[in-house]
Amino acid sequence: MSIQSQTVAEFAITYSRFLDAEGHPTQDLPESLKNADTLRKLYEYMVLNRTFDAKAVALQRTGKMGTYPSSAGQEAIGVGVGAAMQEGDVSVPYYRDHGAHLIRGGSIEEIYLLWGGDERGNDYATLKQDFPVAVPIASQSLHAVGVAKAIQYRKQSRAVVTFIGDGGTSEGDFYEAINLAGVWKLPVLFVINNNFWAISVPLSEQTICKTLAQKGIAAGVSGEQVDGNDVLAVTYATEQALKRIREGHGPHIIEALTYRMCDHTTADDAKRYQPPEEVESYKKEDPILRLRNYLVSQNLWDEEQEKTLYARVKQTVEQAVHAYESIPDQPPTAIFDYLYATLPHDLIEQRDILLANLGAHHE
């Protein structure tokens, strides 16, 4: 008997960042990130993300909104990925990608509406083909490959970006999705928001893989890590990945390393399991502070601009809160009206029962 071995895969996972925690450049910035307006826009949307997000938590705490998943500390991922996407691309999110929604032209009010218990929050005014938030973990990865298949079938140059958390990469749907994306060379980018916590379970109990990006290797899908608190690294990696994807090179995985600087949702208390010293150590990695330090060091930002920005963002958020709070309720029949294109006869009967009983209440 002879045993032969063959090296079928050798891989290294690259890790990239452009700014260290203090905002010092670690290498030369690519041309696309030297534009002052681009840099300021990234900064402004991260500030908007954090501000609207803090307000969402405050609304929940005061009984004006339901359970809400914060994206505090992870703004660079949504904002950076969203900034690199183009019009016509499709976002298939999980639930901590608010930054991508905002920078792609989605509204704050839509996010408030959804988490305020109103389905109209998913009826996006501008991002008509983007998927709504997926609550069941990893199930959205498969929708993304389906959207990508439709794009490929029609020979379009659009791309799909789908987001998932670190815990989500343990789900079968994630593996099924990257496998199919590889087999069919689909135009889809998988972005893993690795914030090290899946509610209370740390990454070390989720997998013994050294990286989550390498999970693509077995499916023949390339992957890389970026500093998820460096919005420049996230933006650039996404731009490069989407360029290759549009050229027909197939799927890619970006694992963005960050930290969950918040409870899982407003119904959670992370103090029960996140070590305080760990949380403390990540404070100095803050993505907003980092970019501001860099902008200031390059003379692209000053106190005056900072004050103006915060005043403007405050006003934007207040307007969104006002719009959210003043939208009239959906009519009671709305619980029936969108189940089917045409309501079947048995549901017409049930809808009538609802209306008849509402009438009785009002009397």
| Shortest CB 184 distance to other proteins, Å | 9
Residue 153 found at the interface with other proteins (CB under 8 A): yes
Q: Which is nearer to other proteins, 159 or 233 (CB)?
A: 159
Residues 227/15, Cβ–Cβ less than 8 Å:
yes
The correct pick among 41, 64, 120, 246 for binding other proteins (CB under 8 A) is 120
Strand 201-202 with 197-198, pairing: antiparallel
Is there a contact between 241 and 189 (Cβ–Cβ < 8 Å)? Answer: yes
Contacts of 232 (CB under 8 A, 6+ apart): 18, 19, 29, 33, 39, 42, 80, 291
Taking contact as CB under 8 A, which single stretch among the options 51-59, 143-151, 225-233, 272-280 is the one that binds other proteins? Answer: 143-151
Verify whether residue 260 is a known catalytic residue: yes
CA-wise closest residue to 94 among 122, 145, 135, 56: 135
* Size, binding site for other proteins by CB under 8 A: 43
Q: Pick the catalytic residue from 158, 252, 260, 290.
A: 260
142 vs 254, which CB is nearer to other proteins? Answer: 142
Residue in 328, 336, 332 with CA at minimum distance from that of residue 355: 332
Stretch of 8-16, 78-86, 309-317, 339-347 contacting other proteins, by CB under 8 A: 339-347
The single residue of 98, 158, 252, 264 carrying the catalytic annotation is 264
How many whole angstroms separate alpha carbon 10 and alpha carbon 63? 53
Rounded to a whole number of angstroms, the minimum distance from the CB of residue 123 to other proteins is 4
- The CA distance from 327 to 330, in Å, is 9
Nearer to other proteins, 142 or 242 (CB): 142
Residues 31 and 344: their CA atoms lie apart, in Å, by 57
Task: Find tokens 């792609």 and name the residue.
Answer: 104
Residue 352 sits in the site that holds other proteins (CB under 8 A)? no
Which of residues 38 and 179 has its CB atom nearest to other proteins in the complex?
A: 179
Which secondary structure element, helix H or strand E, spans residue 227, and what is its range?
Answer: strand 222-227
**Pair of tokens at residue 141:** 């990865």
**From 201, 270, 347, 355, residue interacting with other proteins (rule: CB under 8 A):** 347
Judged by CB under 8 A, does residue 207 bind other proteins?
Answer: no
Identity of residue 119: E
Instruction: Give whichever of 145 and 198 is closer to other proteins, judged by the CB atom.
Output: 145
Query: Is 294 annotated as catalytic?
Result: no
Q: How far is CA 142 from CA 161, 166, 181, 188, in A?
A: 12, 16, 9, 11
CB of 246 to other proteins, least distance (A): 17
Q: What minimum distance in Å lies between the beta carbon of 204 and other proteins?
A: 27
Which residues make up the interface to other proteins (CB under 8 A)?
90, 92, 119-120, 122-124, 128-129, 131-132, 134, 136, 139, 141-151, 153, 172-173, 176-177, 179-180, 183, 334, 338-342, 344-347
